[in-house]
Structure 1
């Protein structure tokens, strides 16, 4: 039996609320030419819309039947109100297809009530028990087993850890979780187990009750710069009065050389996808994390070579987040009429809405710099890029596992879901002048998807350092003791199929800050972008 591939096409809606977007006179002819040359990548439903608008009812019905009988299209309301298909309403076949769509909807609704679609089937309360200081051994083993099973059936990136024998790892960790003496120590082992998958979107999270033990950190930020761990931000007046400032090098942490400390106490618990991702997690996100109750002893070296010992303290995670918070969207006009836009978070749609509302002013600029160096993700606002392109273009491809128990029983190959995502232009008002995107290893998840789409569009250049190399849609599961985990289920790629997960998106111009830049407050990547644009 030949392997079946289900090709899914995702269209990002930017200019119309109807199902078929932006069709215009001549669209059917263009599509027909593309199909004859094997260049068309569009869904059966949208193909039907194109041909209906072109007046070719036979081809329109050919593809509409594919949408109904092959793709199981089930949205009766949308098809009946889709103006693109109005010319088909009086044909005898129309009512037959509407009836078939209604039947598809009935089947879909019945399926949604099936036991496998009941949320508690996969997240039953039997395995999501309340937090206690020390959950039972049975709960500990059940939690490890649940995580192992969910990873086995859902994790999409096993090919990136070819030497990992996951079943052997599971067996090795059973006695280790049984030996833990508290829920705190249990979750440390669970986090370590999950880290073996080397995926930034596959993680174990401790219960909220343990936040102050796992996630407390001081009000400063460190980073690896030129092989040295430097302080790059201080957000506490007490620390400033002690003389701690950006540019100082961390020599030791709690009596150990900083890299030795990071390797011994931090690295085993980091789920990272690339070397640059690991470095960021080690020396920026997690180096000084730990228990709120425990002070941190640092030895720092200043720019003049003077060493000094300091004792600093962690604060609660919510306090630190509040003190270090930045606006999701920053916009200003720089010298040379260059629009600088920092998009620092996609957790909400603030950045997308702000870009759209400011686009009139942005469009008057001679060039645009989009800065996503500090954006850890959220939900990718592809709409932003629709302002930068003249016509519809592919921005992303992806694949996911399509596990079929029967295929396995029949000894057939397992199948995969694959798709290509298409982005529409805003039309005549699009921005055609130079664009630069700034990236770093902190550019992650949804922000990395935006960079991948930008690169796929070939719309401008990327300046900075490689992105973190991790994105994808995780499935979230509950664990005993009120913890949780997430498992990456989809592999996003560039539109041409090039992988960046496990690698990172490489910049067109590699620019990294130096220790001297940090001490002097110089933004090396931004200055490089300005130099590039001034030479255009």
Structure 2
């Protein structure tokens, strides 16, 4: 143990050479040990990369110290504990079921061959909870990639009606594998069999979202891992390419060709205004985060207000932000000064009351509110009183209230679903697309080990009338599914339907 401590001290000293002012070293954890009943973290300064490589020969072989079996068991146990205590939907999942899963993982996590296998085991455990906002993530330097491959390949995939389709590819590879090509097999296994394995590790609230995320991560693997990918081009011809996972160089930008409207940057654009005949404005809103998105909306709004006779609000791929900001956006699209949104509650606990409920039976709770509450505390079933989200706005604000169609898909989630909950009471608004992600709620982050975190959904959220949508998604008023032919032809079927509903020919 002392030997390794001296080694890291030496490395830190070698890294602190003169003339390295631009290389301010960040502190990173390289080891954890248990002293008695206390977990001790040790750190070492590691220089930033310069031109894609670590500075100095002494850093060439640097890597994080692998997590020991004891550390893995500690992380698993902490994950089990925090989920058991905080997960908003534990009453539905079942405490006994969660305890059983924990016990089944004790031996496998200690026998994992490496950190990546251990990480995937925890991913699989979280995936069993079927909640997109309950997950595992890491900040360690795992050399993995999902879209970048050797020989200049960049490849993004999407799910279209049960087909795994190339949505974006490096421009110099587009002739070999054009956008719109369909993936048929990976390493000789049919794509559905391959996807089935990936989906077991994906945290998602609905099967639709689970499949979409699995498609996006389908080729995620360690750098240097080769895969034989069989595909069919739009013209019907088939081919096979060998893709070897690689990491992008620092600041690297690869020119790509994408299906119309489905390039990564375009799909995840913060804000955009597009005009259609009849003075119909389409507002693409990429997130409900405070800051630049709202500033862009605020700057564009006077022009939209003066001209637009109808609106399309495109919330597809809007997965981030706050419900307060969602309400702020909506307040400019309705004359209502009071917006009532989702109802939420969270789990609560009182140790003293739990002890009083330890001997209670279900029969004892009948007609006795205090015993009932004590019983719920003891059995991890107590919740706070439901709270309704309500937002008030001044009458003096700028408002544009016109016929409005909201575009949604299975990547419409979190604050965007809160926006829809608020908009449900607006008679001039309707929705078009596919069911949303069903993943609203507040996330609490907990450190399991240095470089390893879990996120846990701590709010149970419903519509104001008590109707559930988490785990189900919000169904649109008009369902429009993309087809492979539409995608290849560059047609946006949901947008076309929205324009049709607004009277645009």
Same-fold call, TM cutoff 0.5: yes
- The CA deviation at 1:319 is 7.2
246 and 128 in structure 1: CA distance in 2 versus 1, 3 angstrom threshold: farther
Aligned to 1:245: 178
* Aligned pairs for 1:216-255 within 5 A: 217=148, 219-234=154-169, 236-242=170-176, 244-255=177-188
Residue 421 of structure 1, aligned match among 367, 375, 389: 389
Per-residue CA deviations over 1:109-147 (Å, capped at 9, x if unaligned) read xxxxxxxxxxxxxxx992767683422221111111111
Over the aligned positions, Cα root-mean-square deviation in angstroms equals 2.6
- The CA deviation at 1:292 is 2.7
CA contact (8 A) 1:456 1:495 kept: no
- The CA deviation at 1:331 is 1.1
346 and 194 in structure 1: CA distance in 2 versus 1, 3 angstrom threshold: same
CA contact (8 A) 1:232 1:518 kept: no
Aligned to 1:358: 300
| Structure showing the higher helix proportion among its residues | 1
CA contact (8 A) 1:273 1:502 kept: yes
**Unpaired segments of 5 or more residues in structure 1?**
1-123
Per-residue CA deviations over 1:40-90 (Å, capped at 9, x if unaligned) read xxxxxxxxxxxxxxxxxxxxxxxxxxxxxxxxxxxxxxxxxxxxxxxxxxx
**Unpaired segments of 5 or more residues in structure 2?**
1-36, 44-62, 255-263, 358-373, 377-381
Residue 138 of structure 2, aligned match among 198, 206, 231: 206
Cα separation, 2, equivalents of 1:438 and 1:320: 34
Is 1:340 aligned to residue 282 of structure 2? Answer: yes
* Aligned pairs for 1:151-170 within 5 A: 151-162=83-94, 165-170=97-102
Where 2:136 maps in the other structure, the secondary structure is strand
Cα separation, 2, equivalents of 1:512 and 1:320: 37
CA contact (8 A) 2:340 2:389 kept: yes
Cα separation, 1, equivalents of 2:182 and 2:98: 39
* Aligned pairs for 1:39-54 within 5 A: none
| Structure showing the higher strand proportion among its residues | 2
CA contact (8 A) 1:206 1:483 kept: yes
Paired residues in the alignment total: 408
Structure 1, 358-367 or 312-321: larger mean CA deviation: 312-321
CA contact (8 A) 2:403 2:429 kept: yes
Where 1:209 maps in the other structure, the secondary structure is coil
Is 1:500 aligned to residue 469 of structure 2? Answer: yes
Cα separation, 2, equivalents of 1:257 and 1:357: 50
Cα separation, 2, equivalents of 1:270 and 1:368: 35
292 and 216 in structure 1: CA distance in 2 versus 1, 3 angstrom threshold: farther
Is 1:408 aligned to residue 340 of structure 2? Answer: no
Residue 458 of structure 2, aligned match among 482, 489, 501: 489
Structure with more relative contact order (C-alpha pairs < 8 Å, separation 6 or more): 1
- The CA deviation at 1:160 is 4.1
Cα separation, 1, equivalents of 2:251 and 2:426: 37
CA contact (8 A) 1:465 1:511 kept: yes
534 and 223 in structure 1: CA distance in 2 versus 1, 3 angstrom threshold: same
Where 2:174 maps in the other structure, the secondary structure is helix
- The CA deviation at 1:457 is 4.0
- The CA deviation at 1:164 is 6.8
Cα separation, 1, equivalents of 2:41 and 2:86: 19
Cα separation, 1, equivalents of 2:497 and 2:347: 41
Is 1:390 aligned to residue 317 of structure 2? Answer: no
* Aligned pairs for 1:87-98 within 5 A: none
Where 2:221 maps in the other structure, the secondary structure is coil
Aligned to 1:185: 117
